[in-house]
Amino acid sequence: MEFKHIPVLLNEVIENLNIKPDGKYLDCTVGGAGHSTEIAKKLNKNGILVCFDRDEDAICASSSRLSVFCNVHVLKTVEDFKTFALKSSNKPTAIICKTNYNDCEQVLKELKLEKFDGILIDLGVSSHQIDTAERGFSFRQEAKLDMRMDTSSLLTASDIVNTYTEKELADIFFKYGEEEFSRSIARNIIKEREQKQIETTTQLASIIEKSMPAKIVYSRGGASKKVFQALRIVVNNELEPLSNTIEFLAKSLNFGGRICVITFHSLEDRIAKDVFKELAKTCVCPSNFPKCVCGHTADVKLITKKPIVAGEFEIKENSRSACAKLRVAEKI
């Protein structure tokens, strides 16, 4: 299946990155290289583009697309990272790493590439992953409950649904999906799995729908969305390290460099907002101090006081952009 993904807020990201032809850029979630391709087009032979992704399909697709504009190197192991050496080329250099962006500190240290002129983190699941039924991300298509972005990792959504306690399930659905019917859904999952294993996306979706009032099911248009989001977040450990990752990456910018973070739900956006706000503080003295004595200086300035959202035309062309929010900060 061809890796299809429409990059959201593409023009806004490219504009806010202020791309320098000979600069160094990092795309932490390359996917199908939608954003990265546009970055690569603006680089000269001295430009460097580092891309991360843990999805093998994304790595194959992005390496193929970026090869039109760049000299591409695909690195998949720790040994690859440690032994990689930059070589002169008549095209920009693209380094595609099979890794999770939350491991960025160690990977960049091993690559000896620790400062960038621009960084992009496009969070969430790609269109390709949703549309590839067998990956188990979509409640609209029957498949095994999987939801792994990296198919070599061990934990699956099926493991969680079939082995976690009722309280653990309810807590996951409420914390990561903000699901108001978390308790009844968890209770019904336990009842169902006592009879038989819950193996498919449609099995789980049916249990979820039966756990809430019919009017809610019909009004939402996707009654299972919140639970599936919560499971995906836990399977891929998307939120726990995110705050530290964004902070580290923001501090990895060269002076004047920009970091762009695209989020797709309130939990992600709140983390990005809070990290940027903390990094932009010019004083960390207690509020009852009459004047500043800390000598603290801000790491970044906020380029977007409020997040940038998709316009009507983009939402019409790509409905998945409707919930996207872009926040931008600049290293000072």
Q: Specify the CATH number for the domain of residue 261.
A: 3.40.50.150
pLDDT tens by residue, 134-159: 788 888 888 999 999 888 889 999 99
State the Cα–Cα distance between residues 40 and 205, nearest whole angstrom. 41
- The reported pLDDT for the residue numbered 286 is 85
For residue 239, what are the contacts with CB-CB under 8 A and spacing of at least 6?
A: 176, 233, 267, 268, 271
- The reported pLDDT for the residue numbered 283 is 87
Contact (Cβ atoms closer than 8 angstroms) between residue 47 and residue 69: no
| CA 62 and chain centroid, separation | 16
Please report whether residue 195 resides in a domain: yes
Question: Which of 76, 64, 69, 78 shows the shortest CA–CA distance to 49?
Answer: 69
Residues of the chain with pLDDT under 50: none
State the Cα–Cα distance between residues 181 and 170, nearest whole angstrom. 9
The reply to whether 228 and 263 lie within a common domain is no
The reply to whether 119 and 264 lie within a common domain is yes
Burial of 297 (0-12, 13-18, 19+ CB in 10 A): exposed
Count how many domains the chain has. 2
The two most distant CA atoms of the chain are separated, in Å, by 66
**CB count, 10 Å around CB of 290?**
6
Please report whether residue 130 resides in a domain: no
- The reported pLDDT for the residue numbered 128 is 67
- From 200, 235, 270, the end of a domain falls on 235
- The reported pLDDT for the residue numbered 4 is 66
For residue 217, what are the contacts with CB-CB under 8 A and spacing of at least 6?
A: 209, 223
Question: Which of 328, 330, 258 shows the shortest CA–CA distance to 301?
Answer: 330
Containing domain of residue 212, as a range?
138-235
pLDDT tens by residue, 246-298: 999 999 999 999 999 999 999 999 999 999 999 999 888 888 888 888 888 99
- From 190, 218, 235, the end of a domain falls on 235
Please report whether residue 132 resides in a domain: no
